[in-house]
Structure 1
């Protein structure tokens, strides 16, 4: 079974401590070796995902930072990261994985839903939040993710009753689930299995959100 090598975390630690172009250029061969190993692991994650979900594509993000509009001018990201896109317009949501010493995590959900999707989700919660709360309170969801996360408005969105009993959900702008991992967990032989189990645990949430975003408020499909 695919694993994360300790040398990968070691390299990323060194990169964080020496985040400059001269050091990176001197260690370019080492970076390419670790990147190759990391990409192999991500490919193994994708194969696991494909055994229980339809995955359209996988993208591993570049290690180079865009510093044009950032106060942080360090040129490199001291981590490997990638996402997995679900196939077809009937399956919404996506999976994410980041490997970074001391800060590794996986995630899934809806980071920046467009205004139409956001309104549709809010309208669903306004009408009936029973199902999403049932998913959020399920022992498996709580075990792997704890709670539904994301930024929220400080007050009720325009057009919604600020006294609505489910305003805590309606105010949300993002709908994300995450699971953090220690370095020991990342290096453990069962790390790939734990990632896959976590992604499986997202499915009831993804299936519910996909149903919302592919139907109108009457439950009629809006896609061909």
Structure 2
């Protein structure tokens, strides 16, 4: 029996790419969306539709999901992974960096969720995994705007889970600590970037994205009547 369709946002690198490789190896057809189409296609995964899509463009997200469903059938899992981490101090961080994080981390997550949720509710089945963060549970220096977006992800996830619990749709939050991804490279303040890198090294390194992908697969693989509401994982040496 064919396996159901999985949608992964922000799939061009890091956690998204690792998750795509894992679910593809299990035989799932995929819709992968990101702004860098060439990186998606370079993954070379079978039964995969790759679309250059910015999650802040709601019509484009909707169109990509409808196209994938026409080809592979209904979405059974959405992994809301697209995100931006731009560290800075509220007093002097460029305001457009706040707006970018709010647009991607909060509105982008809502747009992708809206694209799949009505169908899941109609079928009475489906799973939405939102990638939160340890920074969605506690604060860190130079993280104020980013922390705000990730606290929002955690709150929205729990509220959505309550809304849909009786329908058979599951909502899961996966909250990693520091992960070896490209996220830090987009921070514009070089001193903050250097300090963050030193902090990661003092903790003995960050998580491998494959470990986060495995956590997502674990939650998805539970029986349909079991929801793993939240998984929090971090490198053993990460104290905070």
The verdict on a shared fold, with TM-score over 0.5 as the criterion, is no
User: Whose RCO is larger (CA < 8 A, sep 6+)?
Assistant: 1
Give TM class, smaller chain.
0.3 to 0.5
TM-score by length of 2: 0.32
Superposition TM-score, scaled by structure 1 size: 0.34
